[in-house]
Chain A
Amino acid sequence: MECVVQGIIETKHVEALEILLQGLCGVHRDSLRIHELCLKSVPNLGLVSSEVRLLCDLEQPEPTWTVRHIGGAMRGAGAEQISVLVRTMAESKVSQNALRLFYALGYKLDHELLRVGFAFHFNSGAPITVTVSSVNKMLKLHATDEAVPVTPGIQLVEVTAPASSENYTEVAKSMSSFCEYLAPLLHLSKPGVSTGVVPTAAAAAASLMSDGGGTTL
């Protein structure tokens, strides 16, 4: 299970966001270059169709693979009152043959993406990860060296934290508190609830860039 919020930011403000995150998180950023393959089951397989994602971390000296399954989001009145999305999520590291295995099992490539950017992993009441990345599509199958941005000039910011059925409300609160610090630069909300860029972003970014983050926003 995990808690998730997302937002977008103009690429020209990413450097300012990084300065802000560096100051808030107190850790160094990790570079991110992830090839994400979204696989879907063929029509006859399974009583319902299923999706699974294979993530290949291209930033490591040897590419490392992870299988991720994202399940349904929590629903109901309780879910609506929480400002973050709570959904089931399971992932497992796998050896490099995972794509061949899933093809053999009856899964087909639905689409693939290359995410390039950076991530901060830190603890703020809960273990939180902030990723800032451009989402790129490949013009040829698996050609990660020839990827182009899906939305030029705009990057995706995602804040996630692992949660359980016992602690998701506390995790959601910790995440919401943290996200408030980012409000001058971007608005974070549940995936699927788009809010666009924030009008104060330019001014906030200028402030951050001028004094390296010393200004209190």
Chain B
Amino acid sequence: MPIKWILHWQPNAGTTVNTQILSEVSQCAESINGVKEGRWKTILSFYRAMVREQGSANEFPRDFVGISLAEQPSKYFLVIRGQRVVVEAESNIQMIMEKLQSYKTRFVLTFEGNQYQLGDFQLRVGKVVPTHSESLRGIVMEMEYQPISSCEKSHQIMGEFFDLWQEALSKRSLQGHFVHLEPNFTEYGLPDQYTLQHTAVQYASITAQMISTAQTVQPNRN
């Protein structure tokens, strides 16, 4: 499966993400001759442990997420980032988790937007919103290079394309930039050949990054 980088928008210090930035990013993709192909959607759910003793939820993972990816709605991915665990399952694992009643989904984020084809690259630009809300929490981009599946072999060409993209975007003088922080896939037991599990791990990782950024900007929010 083709290599993919997933990037998230890092607002400049003192600023927040907004729909104007999202619009500019989409226009930028079109301005470099990206051909709009359709829509995409990925959903990430935060699971929280149900406990009998009040206040003891911290005994259990707080970074346990479930992810439904646009490419393969029949699958579901479970990630515990702190333990570097990723599991690929069928989508009915969600029903099994519900029946167990040990963990419940507390908060759900939707990543959705348009998809563009640029030669051998496929770009996806998306907003990040809580499900059933329009409150923009972030902006993500997926950058896929179709001819190569190896993480290592694709590094150079992906880096070059990323630099081109950043340069095109910089002309719009936006208050922020895209960041690519690749998780250590080896720590998750993942091979060099790219898979949907790599994508799931990236989504868990950028979500954590976005939450961390939001908490830095507004530390008293909770």
Q: Which residues of A contact B (CB under 8 A)?
A: 41, 43-48, 50, 52, 67, 69, 71, 88, 90-95, 97-98, 100-101, 104-107
Contacts and interface: CB of A to CB of B under 8 A. Distances in A.
Contacts of A93: 89-90
Contact of A44 (B52, B88, B95, B189): B52
Interface in B80-95: 80, 83, 85-90, 92-93, 95
Given A92-B89, A94-B93, A104 B80 contact: yes
A88 B95 CA distance: 12
B49 interface: yes
10 contacts: A45-B49, A45-B102, A46-B101, A67-B93, A69-B99, A92-B93, A95-B86, A97-B85, A98-B89, A106-B60
Contacts of B189: 97
Given A101-B78, A101-B80, A90 B85 contact: no
B51 A45 contact: yes
B93 A105 contact: no
A107 B64 CA distance: 14
Nearest to A51: B100
B160 interface: no
A95 B52 contact: no
Given A47-B50, A94-B88, A105-B61, A52 B78 contact: no
Contacts of A47: 50, 52, 101
A55 B16 CA distance: 47
Contact of B89 (A44, A50, A94, A107): A94
Contacts of A69: 96, 99-100
Interface residues of B, number: 30
Secondary structure call for the B interface? mixed
Contact of A101 (B49, B52, B87, B90): B87
A90 to B, nearest CB: 5
Interface string B86-118: 111110110110011111000000000000000
Between B59, B87, B92, B93, the greatest number of chain A beta carbons within 10 A of the residue's beta carbon is seen for B87
A43 B49 CA distance: 13
Contact of B80 (A91, A95, A105, A107): A105
A50 B102 CA distance: 7
Nearest to A71: B99
Given A94-B88, A97-B85, A104-B61, A52 B50 contact: no
A90 B61 CA distance: 24
B60 A105 contact: yes
B51 A44 contact: yes
Given A46-B50, A92-B90, A104 B85 contact: yes
Contacts of A100: 83, 85
Contacts of B61: 104-105
> 7 shortest A-B CB distances, which residue pairs?
A46-B102, A92-B90, A95-B88, A92-B93, A50-B100, A94-B89, A104-B83
Interface string B43-83: 00000011111001001110010000000000000101001
A43 to B, nearest CB: 8
Interface string B117-156: 0000000000000000000000000000000000000000
